[in-house]
Structure 1
Amino acid sequence: MTGGRNPFDMGDVRRLQQHLARVVPQARRDTRAAVMRGALNIKRQWAQNARQTAPKHAPAYPRTVGFDLLMFGPDQLLAVIGPDKGGRQGALGNILEYGSVKNPPHNDGGLALLNELPAFEAQMALIQQRGLTWW
């Protein structure tokens, strides 16, 4: 550069660094809470749907629906939601959810997921917006 003036302002870089130091830990906590809340809502809705659609021969099936939250480092979360195959009638989950040659699919979990998705996406967008607003 000629002219002796450098248009790069390190003050902006320091402000961004301070902002990220504050918001990244908060975004991690908020994201974990949103995933946990979403998984719980899906689990509850799935069980409720299953109580309404489960055949008479599977009355215990809705109580087997649960979830696990798995963390892979600080920034990767996975919620695994569905029936516990070790629970009483939990092994019927695949047949009840997806159907078989003789049984139509119930799609209780799929409907619960679709119902929760807009709220979850809105929460993720809000967390992202908070993180990007730093001026």
Structure 2
Amino acid sequence: MTVIVTGAQETAAALVHSIALLERNSATAVAVTAGKVKRSAARRITGHRHLPAYPASISYTVSRGPAGPEAEIGPDKGRRQGPLGNLIEYGSIHNAPIPHLGPALEENADDLIRGIEIAVLQALR
């Protein structure tokens, strides 16, 4: 029996291209959602009399982790009022919590799922 395989190189090249496209587009999906979470969290905490600079301290970074793109979203401790993040989100014995990061993440979870679905579909075309 003889087996002749044709198109293997083309198929391999298409798979490599699909993987690269999936990596790029999933990173874009993570970055877009991270931006939405950042803006939502800042909007939720804006207007508190004692926290005028805190909303502007919320930022995000996107990086490549072991399982793919990941984002870190939250107050930048190097910015004015940024170090207050945990105290504001979770409260203390003297201060009630003001949840803003957790609810913002929950609000945008479906957006991330949609973005990843789009990235996968585009990679499979």
TM-score range (shorter-chain normalised) is 0.7 to 0.9
Deviation at 1:24, TM superposition (A): 1.6
> Is 1:57–2:50 an aligned residue pair?
yes
Q: Deviations over 1:7-27 (max 9, x none)?
A: xx7347555323213212211
Q: Tell me how large the CA RMSD over aligned residues is.
A: 2.2
In structure 2, the residue corresponding to 1:38 is in which secondary structure? helix
- Kindly report which structure 2 residues correspond to 1:1-135, keeping only aligned pairs within 5 A, or say none: 4=1, 10-11=5-6, 13-14=8-9, 16-52=11-47, 54=48, 56-72=49-65, 76-132=68-124
Q: TM-score, normalised by structure 1?
A: 0.79
Q: Deviation above 4 Å: which 4+ runs of structure 1?
A: 12-15
The answer (yes or no) to whether the contact 2:57–2:80 under 8 Å persists in 1 is: yes
Higher relative contact order (CA 8 A, sep 6+): 2
Q: How many residues align?
A: 125
Separation in 1, partners of 2:8, 2:91: 56
Unaligned segments of structure 1, at least 5 residues? none
Residue identity over aligned pairs, in percent, reads 29
Cα separation, 1, equivalents of 2:5 and 2:93: 66
SS at match of 2:46: helix
Give the number of the structure whose alpha-carbon radius of gyration is greater. Answer: 1
